[in-house]
Structure 1
Amino acid sequence: MELVTVEASPHQPSPTTTTGKPSCLQTLSMIAPESCEKDVLAKACNVRKLSIRGQMAAFLSAYKGGINNLEELQCLEHLKLLNDVLFINKTLHLPLAFSKLVRTVKKLTLTNTRFAWSEADKLGTLESLEVLKFKENAFTDDLWKPKSGFSALQVLWIERSELEYWEASVINFPVLRQLVLISCDELNAVPLELADIPSLQEMRLENTSKAVKSAKSVRDSKTSKSMELKLSIFPPENESKVPQ
């Protein structure tokens, strides 16, 4: 089937079909939350990639409608939620039914949603999730201690986070293959227990200097167990030092 992509301004209504039949759309990009109406998504039921940008507060908290309409997308594999409206003293929450609504999603990207790290446990129950990207303060607070396992997660990407302390092990990420940390300036260390994950093959740290020492310890620990781990550090340490 030919791939059909539609891109729209966040302030424009999402495209609809002219008949009552399901459309062949497979990608919807930059759609406003208020455009994700039940009848629209029902007609776009073949969509595999969906990105939503706008005010997420009402979209996520809607008792009916809003994020609940995602249940119409039975083929959804890639989902991006980008919040571009902030409210003072307004905390966003993932609905309890989130894992059910996006149960087919393999790749999830959250940007500027500013969830508490405790909300991440709701993502740990996604059995199809393989790639998870947290960008631009997707989560706030300084501690992440997962209570549930990300059973299928292979790639974890954390960018521009306030995270300082992170506890995790093979129990939480049993098949993790790649870890990317970008501009996590406050992160003191990566969990040393990550060395016990047999599938972990690569770690990349960019502008995350405090965690470099622990990342090297993870690499050395895996090496001692005859397991390879590619560790990339940017900027390289010899370039990050200012000449005297």
Structure 2
Amino acid sequence: MSDVRGPDGEEADLAAEYVLGVLDCAERRSVERRAEREPALSNEIDAWTTRFAPLYDQISDEPPPASVWPRIANELRRMRRLGHDGVQSVRRKGERAGRRVSGIWQWIGLGGMGLAAASLAALIVTAGGLGGVATKGAGVVLAGTLVDPQGQPLFTVVYNREENAATLIPVAHAADGGKVPELWMVPPNGAAPLSLGLLNVSKPSHMRMPVTTVGEKDSALAVSLEPPGGSPTGKPTGPVVASGALLNL
């Protein structure tokens, strides 16, 4: 990429992410404001746009199935019904556990709000793909949203079962106090959580999964805050800040 990157590789990465559309709304506005006053960044955006232009010609319009939008509307209604009860349930359980890790791991990913949000994310992916993962056949791509104990989304997840790889897109992030978010898989059989790697809260993380059971039925994903470099014990040591389940498309 030497023909695209300038002296500041980070700036080139930011321009590429802008052109690919993986930044959230606030980040896009920030980049656009910077590009108005920073010719170097504006040139990087133009260069990446030119570089990706041949790919655009290969993408044909693919209207979503007629059933997609009614299903999204149904999920929104279901989220309204389940949201209050799910969040209150999570809060009560979190309070009883006193935010102890051992207590929190018993309820992650199972609240009504988390499942409803995951369902909605899955429908959106079905409608047109997300995070660079192309829509595949049924059961190949899974999606979900990892939410905090108050039901607020922190990460959107798209997992490709064939490639055993996932893209995690940060929506927001919890106060870290110098700690880093670590992703865990929680097996459905009550076994100890398995570390899947560290996450980046400033841009999407593209991860090859170290295990092949990420999409297993009734399993869940969770994010805990750990010391730099990850958990020193191989088990969660910090507070669980987000959790959720993946759904088959």
Normalising by structure 1, what TM-score?
0.23
Give me the TM-score of the superposition, normalised by structure 2: 0.23
- Which of 1 and 2 has higher RCO (CA within 8 Å, sep 6+)? 2
More helix by share: 2
